Structure 1
Amino acid sequence: MKAKYISTFPLVSLLVSTLIVSQVCRAQVVGQGLDASPKIPQTTPTQETPDLQDDQTDDVKAILDSLTLDQKIMQLMFVRLSGVLAPSSVDSKLLEMLTPGGIILPEIGSASSTIEYVELVRKFEAANPGSIPFFIAGNAFAPTDSEVKNSNRFLNMPSMLSLSASGENEDAKELFHTVADNFHRMGLNTHFGPSLTLASDLNNSLGSLYTFGDDPATTANAAGSLLTAFYTNDILWMPSGFPGGEANRTGNGPAIMLTPGPHFIERDGLPYFIAIKHGVPIIHVANTLAPTIDPDMKPASVSRKVITSLLKGTLDYKGLVISGPMDGPYILTKYEPEAAAVQSIVAGSDMLLWSKTSPQIPKAIALISNAVRNGNIDEALIDNAVLRILTLKSKFGLFDRPLPEVRQALKMQNENEKLGVAQRIEKRAATLLKNDANLLPLKKDLSTPLFITGIVDLQPLKKILAKELKYVNHFEIKTAKHTGRVEDFELRRLERTAKGVRTALCIFDNRIDARSQAQVIAELKKKNLKVIVVLLGYPRDINTYQSADALLLLYGATTSLNATISALSDILLGNAPVTVLSDSKPLTRPTNQTITFDVLDVIQSPTGRLPVSLEPFFPAGHSVSYAPTSIKSVHWDFGDNARSNENRAEHIYTQPGQYTATLTIEVSDGTTASGTFAIDIQ
């Protein structure tokens, strides 16, 4: 049943409103001190968050009246189960003993295993008081820790940083809608995450592939695309990580949001603000410290200043708030989990997140129950939270959703195998930071003999490149996977192997010590080789690789290389996507002057742009272009009835006036790219 309040909104509108918000915020913070509260710009929402207070029905109230106090408190629990393929014995015992309001599947594997998992969970649902349905959640964007697990997933997923680097494109929208559609068909009703936190700008941060980069507007636009996809497919979306700052973590310390209060909305808060204004029904509050919002240094998940004052007050958020995990590592250093649960409820949370099934959950229920009976918590607070939970479940049709159909699994698998969207996104995301002497793309007559070395399995890449270039040798630095660095004896073996070659291609892994990988470059440079470095994963320590002649980034996780290696081989050989860089600023020329129109001057290929700042070396948005081999045909329309199919065309405008030149490029994969250019002839 499709919820009545659901609607979609145009992403162009979202981006425009995002920019307006940012501009208004900048204007409003002028002259304010660091301790000033964030000011909220006035915007017109395209979709209201569901009203969980005024839309409460008699049926929902009747369910509440039928519950005991402990049963009500159980509805406030949102538990991540521990069993991967099915509820574990501990999970089953917990679900039999109490009825949480929501559960999270620890991993989303194949379609068939997910459907079977949901069916097992729904059996517990049917046995609980009032047959109250669970929020059944998963996270398609969560990383996997092995290639085997990734290959068994219902859909091959690119990293979030790849999505950001690839820019706004139809492939990203198709991916989001496929995830949402598959979630619905697998029987899930809620998507937990991804986090809308920005990439860290701390120098000693490890960095993460699981942000949309460091630009607030880009992350807000991704939030809009996700919200549209999930709403369209009747999936509740719960963006995680409020108030931001989750990526600002060093070592084992807590994450910390450092943006000054008056700048919060234009930075960390912007993606959440846009999601709120466009109707997101649930928001997760993390255990992040936010000293500029709460000087008492309470984790956001137990902070009244973050949850009630900022989120519900300043941002006027009326949906469900889920906080935690109450048993998270940093919480455990400060509180007993059950005590943190009480504080979170008092701070304004509707539901409490738990990272695993454990005895701490019934302890928390008992402690909250005692606090109500002792008068330390008003029972009306519990009742109101449960009514809001039940109302959202009712409005979203969870009470009458049918069980998923097992026959959908094979159908989804076949559809997703044909889709190939992850590979296309990885390919669009590839970012060329440096390309001295036009080393890329690789060419048989200029690049060979080619020597490939690196940390990952090189055989698949060597096989593809050897087919095109013929003279390719390789040396895999195997011990680095176990030691975390390139050992000296491996460098000596490398020196003996890399003989009689012209170009060296190094495939580096961001998880391996950067300085030892830089020694590989140094050894190859001693042999007067041209060195191309491909860095996989998050591009930290980029300064270490500056001596390379060419530097290419791919943001795929090194534990799931299938789509990445396929995309990489295409980019190395020039079979890259193409974007036409339109320019609204007119080119002014006199009549009867020859104007040269060169395709290579107005295209971007590869198309990826750096989604995070790597200052002082490369700013966010940086990329360089090469001459791709993927261009199949070119068509220039000069706007005066003259045309050309040449890559480099010359044209003379004989009459003064305003003209629009249009370039259309057909790429070898069947896609087209086009752009327009204003011409002012005087």
Structure 2
Amino acid sequence: MLSILMLIISIAVDSSEQVLRSNEPTIRDEPAVVQELPSTQTEQSETGEPTLEEKIGQLFLPTIHRVHGLLSAERNFLGKYKPCGVVLTTIIEPKAGTDLVSFVKMATAGAKLPMWIGGDLYELSKLPRGAVSRYVDIPPLLSVCANPDDEVLNRFFRVWRTYAYGLGLNFVMGPHLSLASELEGTASNLHCLGSNPNIAGEIVDSFFKLWANESLMLVPMDFPGGATNKKGVEPSVLLTPDAMLMENDLVPFSVLVKNGHPVLHVGTTLVPTIDPAGMPACVSEYVIDKLLRKQLNYGGVVIAGPLDSPEVVKYMSPSEAGIRALRVGADVLYFQGELNTVARAIDRVKYAIDTGELTQERIEESYAKVKALKDRQFAISIPKDAEKIKGEVLQKSKGDVYEDAYYIIKNSITLVRNHGDLLPLEKGSVAGIGITGAVGVQELSQALSKYHKNIAVQDMRSSFRLGYIEKFEIERAEKTVGKAPIVICIVASALRLAEQEEMVSRLKNVGSKVVAVVLGHPSALSCAKKADAILIAYAEPTSYSIAIKAVAETIVGLPAFRFRNVLAPSELYSGREYKFSLKEVVAMPAGRLPVSVGENFPEGASLSFPLEGLIRKCQWKIGDKVKFDTPEFSFSFPLPGEYTIELKVQGPDKTEKVKTFSVVVK
């Protein structure tokens, strides 16, 4: 009965578009025009073995642009070709996602292999036409790079895992593994691994190992890197010299190859330093065959595309791109557009085999890899706790997903300037505060009002819709909040920077101490150069509310903290007295700058608040017997040897962390 009901609902979608919610901005499901595909006779195997046509279908990964049900043409396509999986683009709410997954499974009933059904988690939770999403936003990868300690990575894993299982997916297109762009004028991209390839490699190694026993498949995106080098509508371009790739852009991918990760995605980035012809990576012999297959000796499944993207179509048709990708060593051909385009590409592969342009052995080779990967993945049972995950938890403003997202954002907040120890602004420590900016002004004012009185605000909310701050807004801010002894300017990387730089400069010139709060990508640091103190929170516009709450706690002296990696001088000698201090070991706030922004803000930069009065408790333990309960102490190691020093710290928000250091004494 349930299957019949779902089929009726799906058919009904063909005849009318449905309004999603009556009390929110109207969102209509507007599918691309997909015409009925002709059905042809396909030779069936009498032994139960898949036919050649079915094997070819398993080498294609199309995209379904639906939020409700499936069109009859989409059902016809899936039923006829039975591709290896589908990429979904938008799930307006969890129930719509689980229903859509069921429709896809119904349409591909009888397929010899299970279907991959998934997408990019960040894109899936975005709603069209600016509608307000009810999802708890997933923190961007760059926020993890700002403080990749074990707890942050574990919580990041939990958020991703809850999202994927809660939406009913079995594979995820991500994460994106490109390093941050160092080119001027590129788009601010928070979905990258920062500037330090070694830290990027460590993050990838730790994060993917957490997935070892899951029935979900992660598809690492954008080999061989460079996807963040994108200006406007121009294609991304990898510019790292070939001789330097192994020590830079390829580091995170090399970690996965070494660890035997079974699938990689090759994107559409142009690779002029690798391929003399300048072809996009997904159709480049130099990238897939020579670099990935031979130099890195990668034998896993390679997903190439999207092959119907503008970057590829500039050079060849999507159908020819599919043939070329298979020739150079790709296994799965990914398309993002019309299903008719995919159908033509499938038929083109059949024709290439019939004419000898492609060998059947080449198809068999890729099919065997896809089958082996699916056999391995679907042999793992969905964990019992994952079966209990309901999609509704993704939309709660309280609960584990929200708390994990908040923890990640708060622990990424980075202090890169603090002249005169202006911060923190502890309770009652200032006579008045002004707050201005295009986003988050009212939210920050409300959060700070628990600790401070005499807060003046100048909201420039209309500027966010325009994409820039108007001149009269800056002049008005000068006359209102400019009178406060301390002014907090909220700067957003999503807005044009020139006017925000002018805002900071003019408020500084009227005599106020200026605290700049940068939301988003660190590139916006360039417009906060004249501020007395600068904090950064790495957040997308949809998660500014979480970031503002975390920033408020940090400003008033309730920041997160982390342990630095270095405890003592590199050489210690027995019989000598050494001084140990929390100032050398604890960083508060916890973040470090994951990218370089000009000469003044290098990658890895971070400052700390003065710790006096912020640390609630601390305990040092040397070996099993010696203990100290003070922020500083002196100690002489009696004998040479290896010692462990355990440090337990309770921060101002009562969070406790423990770190064990090993030192060698000569």
Aligned 8 A contact 1:184 1:233 in 2: no
* 2:551 corresponds to 1:568: yes
Which amino acid in structure 1 is aligned with residue 172 of structure 2?
H
Q: Secondary structure at the match of 1:232?
A: coil
Give the deviation of 1:475 after TM superposition: 0.8
5+ residue gaps, structure 2, are: 1-44
Aligned 8 A contact 1:510 1:538 in 2: yes
* Counterpart Cα distance in 1 of 2:389 and 2:145: 31
**CA shift digits 1:416-436 (9 cap, x unpaired):** 823511111111100101000
Q: Secondary structure at the match of 1:136?
A: strand
Which amino acid in structure 1 is aligned with residue 97 of structure 2?
T
Give the 5 Å matches for 1:391-470.
391-397=372-378, 408-409=389-390, 417-419=399-401, 420-470=403-453
Aligned 8 A contact 2:267 2:282 in 1: yes
Structure 2 counterpart of 1:376: 357
* 2:135 corresponds to 1:135: no
Q: Secondary structure at the match of 1:334?
A: coil
Give 1:553's match in structure 2, choosing from 525, 536, 541. 536
Higher relative contact order (CA 8 A, sep 6+): 1
Give the deviation of 1:90 after TM superposition: 5.3
Q: Secondary structure at the match of 1:250?
A: coil
Which amino acid in structure 1 is aligned with residue 629 of structure 2?
N
Give the 5 Å matches for 1:186-585.
186-397=167-378, 408-409=389-390, 417-419=399-401, 420-498=403-481, 500-581=483-564, 582-585=566-569
Distance 1:379 1:618, change over 3 A: same
Aligned 8 A contact 1:510 1:539 in 2: yes
Q: Secondary structure at the match of 2:417?
A: strand
* Counterpart Cα distance in 1 of 2:386 and 2:572: 63
**CA shift digits 1:252-288 (9 cap, x unpaired):** 2221112222322221112111101112111111111
Structure 1 counterpart of 2:630: 646
Which amino acid in structure 1 is aligned with residue 399 of structure 2?
E
Q: Secondary structure at the match of 1:201?
A: coil
Q: Secondary structure at the match of 1:396?
A: helix
Aligned residues: 615
Structure 1 counterpart of 2:656: 671
Distance 1:459 1:412, change over 3 A: closer
Give the deviation of 1:185 after TM superposition: 6.2
Give the deviation of 1:88 after TM superposition: 5.0
5+ residue gaps, structure 1, are: 1-60
* Counterpart Cα distance in 1 of 2:188 and 2:133: 25
Aligned 8 A contact 1:197 1:211 in 2: yes
- After TM superposition, the score normalised by the length of structure 2 is 0.84
Distance 1:90 1:483, change over 3 A: farther
Give the deviation of 1:145 after TM superposition: 4.8
* Counterpart Cα distance in 2 of 1:117 and 1:577: 40
Distance 1:447 1:333, change over 3 A: farther
* Counterpart Cα distance in 2 of 1:125 and 1:398: 20
**CA shift digits 1:639-681 (9 cap, x unpaired):** 796644334x454759787877654212233322445586979
Distance 1:521 1:385, change over 3 A: same
Q: Secondary structure at the match of 1:231?
A: coil
* 2:587 corresponds to 1:604: yes
Which amino acid in structure 1 is aligned with residue 630 of structure 2?
E
Give 2:97's match in structure 1, choosing from 97, 114, 119. 114
Aligned 8 A contact 1:105 1:137 in 2: yes
> What is the CA RMSD across the aligned residues, in angstroms?
3.3
Distance 1:358 1:485, change over 3 A: same
* Counterpart Cα distance in 1 of 2:97 and 2:137: 15
* Counterpart Cα distance in 2 of 1:118 and 1:210: 26
* Counterpart Cα distance in 1 of 2:290 and 2:239: 18
Distance 1:403 1:394, change over 3 A: farther
**CA shift digits 1:464-497 (9 cap, x unpaired):** 1011112211111123213222111112211221
Which amino acid in structure 2 is aligned with residue 430 of structure 1?
I
Give the deviation of 1:616 after TM superposition: 1.1
Aligned 8 A contact 2:162 2:389 in 1: no
Give 1:614's match in structure 2, choosing from 594, 597, 601. 597
Aligned 8 A contact 1:146 1:560 in 2: no
Which amino acid in structure 2 is aligned with residue 470 of structure 1?
K
Which amino acid in structure 1 is aligned with residue 280 of structure 2?
P
Which amino acid in structure 2 is aligned with residue 493 of structure 1?
R
Aligned 8 A contact 2:101 2:168 in 1: yes
Distance 1:267 1:486, change over 3 A: same
* Counterpart Cα distance in 2 of 1:403 and 1:677: 38
* Counterpart Cα distance in 2 of 1:670 and 1:399: 36
Identity %: 27
